[in-house]
Amino acid sequence: EARTVRDPATRVNSGETLRVNLPPPEPAAPAGEQIPLDIVYEDDALIVINKPAGLVVHPAAGHASGTLVNALIAHCGDSLSGIGGVKRPGIVHRLDKDTSGLMVVAKTDAAHRALSKQFENKGESGLERGYLALVWGAPSRPKGTIDAPLDRHPKSRDKRAVRDGGRDAVTHWQVLERFAGPDGKLVASLLECRLETGRTHQIRVHLAHIGHPILGDATYGTGFKTKAARLGPKARAALEGLDRQALHAYLLAIAHPSTEKSLRFQAELPGDLRRL
């Protein structure tokens, strides 16, 4: 009798007949899509956007369309750097899907090379990347540095973890504000973080590593869910309505790839994080 095979470990027996339905082939290159962009700055060499939370940067498994790349192709036409390949044209650096904030995209190959060099040699190039994070708890010190190597998580390939022998990762943080719950005890803080290296999930993993995971982070802050009970009703409602990690790339400073003039951009906290 016919049945649908759902378990990938199912053994195939002699004499069985299997029917396979192949999905239609995906196009080799992403198509342009009319997705609104919050453009902070644009010229012939580059474009700086304020990415909303929920927008994936480039097509990948599970996100074949509806990405920032699809929006950029529609907006820029053919004038995007090809160095990133057909799936990632112009993409010099990334933000996680649920992190909001400033990103620069290269429109020419020359701009892509120059910007990539800045991201590789951060200290020497004058590149600055600043983030605002709402975290659980309140660090006792006003500022600090987390120097802890990152690698793939041993059990979950989509996660990163602090591991000996991983890639160098350095995050500088300082406390901007501390928040007390209704009981008068400190429950959360607003931190500013500066990246010295730009590893995948770096700020999220590093802050969880020092015991202050980001509010709303379903991947690295799971052990802190019960702390929501210590928030006041308005704060708890804002957190429940957040549906993402409370992390925003608010500052981006680069040297223009053609003129070498210093460009500095700031993006205010979006509404969901302001409410929180």
Dist CA 115 CA 275 (whole Å): 34
Query: How buried is 149 (Cβ within 10 angstroms: 0-12 exposed, 13-18 middle, 19+ buried)?
Result: middle
Residue 146, φ and ψ in degrees, nearest 5: -110, 115
**Cα atoms in the 13 Å half-sphere on the side-chain side of 214:** 29
Q: Is 96 one of the annotated active-site residues of the chain? A: yes
Query: How buried is 63 (Cβ within 10 angstroms: 0-12 exposed, 13-18 middle, 19+ buried)?
Result: middle
Dist CA 67 CA 52 (whole Å): 11
Residue 158 carries which side chain, given as an amino acid letter? Answer: D
129 neighbors 172 (Cβ within 8 angstroms): no
129 neighbors 249 (Cβ within 8 angstroms): yes
Dist CA 262 CA 126 (whole Å): 8
**Annotated active-site residue in 7, 38, 96, 272:** 96
Query: How buried is 232 (Cβ within 10 angstroms: 0-12 exposed, 13-18 middle, 19+ buried)?
Result: middle
Which positions are annotated as active-site residues? 96
